[in-house]
């Protein structure tokens, strides 16, 4: 359905999070009206505080696992949703904190099931395009031969593991997307996002790059949760956002699309680069692996290059400089907002959202 007025109404769930806040910022720059929905379980208001005065932006503190009707919010009346509806929905809402994953298992389970259903029901109601940010972990562990992962690979995930609410939850959410396309003809896109870094990642929650930088600046030991063989790829957040928006703007069903960097690197080399760039004398210390800090496979980017005309452009050194500069400028503020642990419980939904 084309916009009735001059600007599209776009809903972003998880819009106050790391990637979500960058999505909101980019969409506003393209001239859209943006409704940011977030329960702040693993996000921070300071990620979007510079957007709050924009008349085309509105933040709603709401858990997407609860029924959500944007027409019932007086603060959204200027968006004229009753007449124009919503044209696009980006579903990024899902807790992500490697160090505190065990405290957010129920939130994760609901976001990938009931939350996904609520988003797709809204897409049906408004005939909106939708995009779901899935994850590289749907492929399972890094393959033994280290081949680049193509979207056609079915992957192998333990549905009963201690982290299955995330891994299998994302796979189930992809199934929801495919089913709503088949039954309701929803134009829904699936982006399988690989490791991403950049400004606005939370501190002290196990996110590698920001914690490395803060400890380097403070002269503290830099902890790597693994050993010297830990390999990873890293894609800068603005590259990821560009891919998501390009994917949303495509026509037809492309199926899942990998979004990330296909350049493999030892994480210890990344740390050494940070030490050099910050002039730090911090020591590198290896710690036992965390449940969510494990080597992941590399993406095959052929589909993204061919169908989206996209590839990551920001070099690691350039991206690290940007996040180092951001951390230096905002370290005191960031430390004040950093959460030592997220809420341990969540009120379960009282029933499925109305279809």
Instruction: Give catalytic residues, as residue numbers.
Output: 166
Answer positive or negative: Cα dihedral of 165, 168, 170, 172. Answer: negative
Residue whose entry in the numeric block shows the structure tokens 């859209």: 32
Q: How far apart are CA 72 and CA 351, in angstroms?
A: 19
Residues 6+ apart with CB under 8 A from 50: none
Q: How far apart are CA 159 and CA 6, in angstroms?
A: 45
Closest CA to 196 of 116, 148, 136: 136
- Cα end-to-end span (Å), the chain: 19
DSSP 257: E
Angle between helices 237-248 and 18-29 (to 10 degrees): 60
Q: How far apart are CA 294 and CA 245, in angstroms?
A: 28
| DSSP-derived 3-state class of residue 209 | helix
Residue whose entry in the numeric block shows the structure tokens 């134009």: 187
Q: How far is Cα of residue 340 from the mean position of the Cα atoms in its chain?
A: 20
Q: What is the CA radius of gyration of the chain?
A: 20
Backbone angles phi, psi at 241, to 5 degrees: -60, -40
Is residue 118 within 8 Å of residue 159, measured between CB atoms?
Answer: no
Give the ranges where 105-163 is alpha helix by DSSP (H): 105-111, 114-126
Is residue 225 within 8 Å of residue 293, measured between CB atoms?
Answer: yes
How far lies 118's CA from each of 16, 70, 93, 125, 134, in Å? 19, 12, 12, 10, 16
Is residue 85 within 8 Å of residue 128, measured between CB atoms?
Answer: yes
């Amino acid at each position: 359905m084309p916009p009735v007025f001059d600007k599209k109404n776009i809903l972003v769930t998880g819009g106050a999070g790391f990637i979500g806040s960058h999505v909101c910022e980019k969409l506003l720059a393209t001239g859209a009206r943006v409704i940011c929905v977030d329960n702040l379980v693993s996000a921070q208001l300071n990620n979007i505080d510079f957007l709050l005065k924009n008349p085309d932006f509105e933040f709603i503190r709401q858990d997407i696992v609860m029924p959500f009707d944007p027409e019932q919010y007086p603060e959204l009346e200027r968006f004229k949703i009753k007449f124009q509806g919503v044209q696009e929905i980006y579903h990024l809402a899902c807790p992500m904190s490697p160090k505190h994953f065990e405290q957010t298992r129920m939130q994760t389970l609901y976001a990938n099931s009931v939350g996904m259903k609520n988003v797709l029901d809204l897409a049906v109601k408004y005939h909106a395009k939708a995009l779901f940010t899935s994850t590289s972990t749907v492929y399972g562990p890094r393959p033994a031969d280290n081949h680049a992962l193509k979207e056609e690979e079915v992957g192998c995930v333990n549905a009963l593991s201690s982290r299955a609410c995330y891994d299998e939850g994302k796979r189930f959410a992809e199934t929801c997307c495919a089913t709503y396309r088949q039954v309701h003809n929803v134009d829904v896109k699936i982006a399988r996002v690989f490791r991403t870094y950049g400004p606005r990642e939370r501190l002290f929650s196990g996110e590698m790059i920001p914690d490395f930088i803060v400890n380097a600046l403070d002269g503290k030991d830099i902890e790597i949760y693994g050993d010297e063989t830990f390999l990873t790829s890293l894609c800068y957040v603005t590259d990821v956002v560009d891919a998501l928006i390009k994917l949303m703007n495509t026509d037809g069903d492309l199926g899942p699309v990998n979004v990330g960097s296909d350049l493999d690197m030892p994480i210890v080399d990344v740390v050494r680069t940070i030490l050099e760039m910050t002039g730090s004398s911090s020591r590198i210390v290896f710690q036992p692996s965390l449940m969510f800090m494990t080597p992941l496979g590399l993406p095959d980017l052929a589909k993204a290059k061919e169908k989206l005309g996209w590839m990551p452009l920001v070099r690691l050194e350039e991206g690290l400089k940007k996040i180092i500069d951001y951390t230096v400028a905002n370290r005191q503020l960031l430390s004040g907002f950093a959460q030592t642990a997220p809420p341990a419980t969540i009120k379960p939904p009282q029933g499925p959202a109305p279809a």
